[in-house]
Structure 1
């Protein structure tokens, strides 16, 4: 019986897990500043399970022109973006681009399907790209389920400042 308990625990959904992120977009000293397009997602180690957390883009551009530039978020686009029906459900994970500053995000685990994640190894990714600017991707591994609150902190070099993801059981 003791040998079965860990297997049963691994198959339980992570319904109590919550995800929160803090994202800093640095003030850049450039002649022509454009707010970045940004994507955040969680991906399993085998790259089969992908859950989008946030997508910031200009969805108000005339005739959907803002969607045309989503493919510049290259890594996100290849993993998840090109398979989505656009415009993506605005109430689920999309939002407008943001200018420099610090932003706190709290994710609705049920709405984003995060409660369906099985126990295992994952990576948190964040990618930012700007028109007439650069591109940056950061990632960090973590394990679910989390026994206690875990905060993962990353430091960007160009398009992103400090980024942290907190996973709470």
Structure 2
């Protein structure tokens, strides 16, 4: 199974585009700034080229990993070490390959990753950082929606 690099690239851009919307002052930006104890001064003192460049690189890593969450055939490749010649593996792939590759299925698994992986991670960190539940829900909500969209793109475009 060859990764769909266009899908990975498009999915990697999703966190940045959604971030512009989600953290806009008219949506959650103002509430996030208060909850994160972020000031205009702190925001102006940042090197935005580095922030967006590294964010895009990390988003590409996340998009690549999302393949393993939403395209279930990758599990077969892992279990057989890429050797698909066996009769049992061939029969399995003929029956099941591509059955769950849809935008809807990818969105479901992306959202599940956000809820069951990202929310606990952000929540644990935020609790120790003494951040509010508002902070947790704004940031976790962003990643749940982002991963749902990324999963949708990765799964739907690899069909």
TM bucket, shorter chain? under 0.3
* Structure showing the higher helix proportion among its residues: 2
Larger Rg: 2
* Structure showing the higher strand proportion among its residues: 1
